[in-house]
Structure 1
Amino acid sequence: MLPTEVRLVAELTRREETVATAESLTAGLVAATIASVPGASAVLRGGAVTYATDTKMAVLGVDEELLAEGGPVQAEVAEQMAVGARRVFGATYGVATTGVAGPDPQGDAPVGRVFIAVAAASGVRSRQLQLDGDRDRIRRATMHAVIVELLDELFAASWE
Structure 2
Amino acid sequence: MKKCKIVLKDKIRCSKLELLVNEFNLILPKLMKHIDNRNHQYKSLDDLKRNLNVGEVVTHADFSENFLCKYSSEIQSVYFGGSRVQLFHHKAVIYYKNIGSVNSTRNTLKVKYFCIISDTLSHDAAAIIIHLRPILSIICQKIPNL
Q: Sort the TM-score into its range (normalised by shorter chain).
A: 0.3 to 0.5
Q: TM-score, normalised by structure 1?
A: 0.37
More helix per residue: 1 or 2?
A: 1
Greater relative CO, 1 or 2 (CA 8 Å, sep 6+): 1
Question: Quick check: which has more Rg, 1 or 2?
Answer: 2
Q: TM-score, normalised by structure 2?
A: 0.39
